[in-house]
């Protein structure tokens, strides 16, 4: 049992994230409690006679127990104080557990954004950055150096996009079936297919409004995601792409991606339609090359369909194909991961996105874990290293990285790509250097202010399909307010 109690609510997120990273899946949530407020500053950790770990954060009480932390707030920034506390919690948990976390005390989604900021502000080289990340955030040498490589490459790739442009995202929330681990907005196309045309009507209204709101400015990149856009019929997909071409000067965009993730949603006709509409980059996502796992995670397609879809995409002329993999899927061992990587190597995609499985709140996977206990006994760090080796053997470099809550092995998701085959939209959304105009149900638009303030404002749309369809004008109005305002 691990019990965390505190009386300073500003600590809740960080302390809880660290505790669950050190002790994943150990029911800490149920044990979380808030202590009575006290007066001055300090933190406290103790162990009871049963060996249970108790960490208490209190203000101003002198505790005689194992560890007490206190700080002099005078002359310190909020950031300094926050990190002094986090290091205390991290070091204490590391000592008690005998473990260390690859990303140390960092719990945010965008470590490379922080790394790039540190490099720029402090004028650090790779060694300097690695030392700083260790001292300040307890990040491992390996991850600090990975982050440095990615941040430097991203900085170069993002240079043309820092001038206040925007990217367009269109969400198509339909899929052939729901994957066990999914937390995206996804409606079964079989059950909800009757709404697709009405949905496309709304997308067209949004596109038309966007033209006016953005005063005809062309987006830098266009990404159609979901869901699975290719879950639409060939006719519906064709309608979607034609309407996009009517409203968006696609030829001016540096990148046009369609997420064609599910191989069971692809065929030669749809691939030709996408190619003909100017789509240059697609994703064909195996996740694993083990049929048993695919069945278990509800993908409802076979490994053979992955290779067929991939070869059909090459035949249709696609020269920029991404593959997504997930490490840590139920029941998978290191040799299963190695087998998957070997098959990826044979097919040689242009980019590879390697995810560490994240147990998300909405995912059916949580139910599976409750029923089966542990997900897999995978050595996540070794599996991630193998994936990196495979990507490098294919001539790819790591170019973007992000983390999620409850991510396996407290690791990361990394995008690798060959030179010139980088998914620019992926970096743009992660590093928040430009606005994203997002269309469709359950999407979030983001305005990045270019006045030097670093301010970002967001607006979302209804996740519920029927609400989105019936409330479309209000959804458009939100975007008009967000993007119509001047910096």
CA atoms within 13 A on the CB side of 404: 13
179 binds ligand SF4 (CB under 6 A): yes
171 binds ligand SF4 (CB under 6 A): no
User: Residue 155: helix, strand or coil by DSSP?
Assistant: helix
| Number of shown-chain residues binding ligand SF4 (CB under 6 A) | 11
Q: How far is the CB of 357 from ligand SF4 (least distance, A)?
A: 12
184 binds ligand SF4 (CB under 6 A): yes
Q: How far is the CB of 261 from ligand SF4 (least distance, A)?
A: 5
Closest CA to 385 of 146, 178, 144: 146
Q: For ligand SF4, which stretch binds (CB under 6 A), given 60-68, 174-182, 200-208, 355-363? A: 174-182
Q: Are 375 and 328 in contact (CB under 8 A)?
A: yes
Task: Indicate the residue among 176 and 409 with the shorter CB distance to ligand SF4.
Answer: 176
Q: Are 309 and 277 in contact (CB under 8 A)?
A: no
**Checking DSSP bridges between strand 53-57 and strand 43-47, what pairing results, if any?**
antiparallel
Q: How far is the CB of 184 from ligand SF4 (least distance, A)?
A: 4
339 binds ligand SF4 (CB under 6 A): no
Task: Indicate the residue among 189 and 378 with the shorter CB distance to ligand SF4.
Answer: 189
Q: Which residue has the tokens 């809740």?
A: 12
105 binds ligand SF4 (CB under 6 A): no
Task: Indicate the residue among 182 and 383 with the shorter CB distance to ligand SF4.
Answer: 182
Residue 10 backbone zone (phi > 0: left; psi -120 to 50: alpha; other: beta):
alpha
Pick the binder of ligand SF4 from 68, 100, 178, 233 (CB under 6 A): 178
Residue-by-residue DSSP string for 409-457: GG--EEEEE-TT---HHHHHHHHT-SEEEEESTT-EEEEEP-SSS--EE
Task: Indicate the residue among 28 and 307 with the shorter CB distance to ligand SF4.
Answer: 307
Task: Indicate the residue among 147 and 286 with the shorter CB distance to ligand SF4.
Answer: 286
Tokens of 143: 């991850």
Pick the binder of ligand SF4 from 20, 186, 356, 413 (CB under 6 A): 186
Q: For ligand SF4, which stretch binds (CB under 6 A), given 137-145, 177-185, 238-246, 356-364? A: 177-185
> From residue 224, how far is each of 158, 175, 227, 230, 439 by CA, in Å?
20, 14, 9, 10, 9
280 binds ligand SF4 (CB under 6 A): no
Closest CA to 278 of 320, 232, 241, 243: 241
Q: Are 59 and 85 in contact (CB under 8 A)?
A: no
Task: Indicate the residue among 67 and 300 with the shorter CB distance to ligand SF4.
Answer: 300
Task: Indicate the residue among 102 and 330 with the shorter CB distance to ligand SF4.
Answer: 330
Pick the binder of ligand SF4 from 4, 18, 43, 182 (CB under 6 A): 182
**x/- track of binding to ligand SF4 for residues 224-243 (CB under 6 A):** --xxx---------------
Number of separate helices (H) and strands (E) present in the chain:
18, 18
Q: What is the 3-state composition of the chain as percent helix, strand, coil, each rounded to the nearest 5? A: 45, 20, 35
Task: Indicate the residue among 58 and 262 with the shorter CB distance to ligand SF4.
Answer: 262
Pick the binder of ligand SF4 from 119, 175, 271, 410 (CB under 6 A): 175
261 binds ligand SF4 (CB under 6 A): yes
Q: Which residue has the tokens 């800490």?
A: 28
Tokens of 391: 């990507």
Task: Indicate the residue among 43 and 180 with the shorter CB distance to ligand SF4.
Answer: 180
**Interface with ligand SF4 (CB under 6 A):** 175, 178-179, 182, 184, 186, 226-228, 261-262
């Amino acid at each position: 049992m691990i019990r965390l109690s505190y009386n300073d609510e500003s600590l809740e997120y960080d302390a809880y994230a660290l505790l669950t990273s050190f002790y994943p899946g150990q029911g800490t949530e149920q044990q979380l409690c808030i202590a009575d407020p006290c007066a001055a500053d300090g933190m406290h950790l103790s162990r009871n006679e049963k060996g249970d770990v108790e960490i208490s954060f209190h203000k101003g009480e002198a505790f005689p127990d194992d560890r007490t932390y206190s700080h002099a707030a005078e002359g310190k920034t909020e950031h300094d104080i926050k990190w002094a506390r986090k290091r205390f919690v991290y070091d204490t948990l590391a000592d008690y557990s005998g473990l260390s976390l690859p990303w140390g005390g960092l719990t945010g989604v965008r470590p490379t954004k922080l790394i790039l900021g540190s490099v720029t502000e402090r004028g650090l080289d790779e060694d300097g950055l690695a030392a700083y990340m260790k001292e300040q955030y307890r990040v491992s040498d390996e991850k600090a150096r990975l982050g440095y490589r990615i941040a430097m490459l991203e900085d170069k790739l993002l240079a043309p996009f820092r001038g206040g442009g925007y990217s367009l995202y269109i969400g198509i929330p339909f899929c052939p079936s729901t994957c066990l681990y999914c937390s995206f907005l996804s409606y079964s196309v079989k059950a909800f297919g009757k709404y697709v045309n009405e949905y496309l009507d709304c997308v067209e209204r949004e596109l038309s409004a966007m033209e006016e709101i953005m005063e005809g400015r062309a987006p830098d990149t266009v990404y159609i995601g979901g869901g699975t856009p290719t879950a639409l019929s060939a006719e519906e997909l064709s309608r979607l792409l034609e309407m996009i071409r009517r409203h968006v000067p696609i030829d001016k965009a540096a990148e046009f991606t369609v997420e064609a993730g599910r191989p069971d949603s692809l065929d030669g006709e749809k691939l030709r339609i996408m190619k003909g509409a100017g789509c240059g980059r697609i994703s064909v996502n195996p996740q694993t090359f083990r049929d048993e796992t695919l069945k278990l995670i509800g993908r409802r397609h076979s490994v053979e369909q992955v290779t067929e879809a991939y070869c059909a995409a090459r035949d249709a002329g696609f020269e920029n194909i991404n593959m997504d993999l997930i490490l840590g899927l139920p029941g998978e061992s290191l040799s299963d991961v190695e087998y998957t990587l070997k098959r990826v190597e044979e097919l040689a995609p242009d980019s590879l996105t390697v995810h560490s499985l994240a147990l998300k709140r909405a995912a059916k996977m949580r139910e599976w874990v409750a029923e089966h206990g542990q997900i897999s006994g995978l050595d996540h760090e070794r599996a991630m290293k193998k994936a990196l080796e495979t990507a490098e053997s294919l001539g790819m470099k790591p170019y973007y990285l992000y983390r999620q809550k409850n991510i396996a092995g407290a690791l990361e998701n990394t995008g690798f790509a060959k030179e010139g085959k980088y998914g620019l939209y992926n970096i743009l959304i992660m590093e928040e250097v430009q606005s994203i105009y997002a269309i469709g149900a359950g999407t979030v638009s983001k305005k990045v202010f270019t006045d030097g303030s670093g301010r970002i404002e967001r607006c979302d749309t209804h996740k519920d399909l029927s609400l989105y369809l019936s409330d479309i004008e209000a959804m458009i109005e939100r975007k008009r307010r967000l993007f119509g305002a001047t910096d």
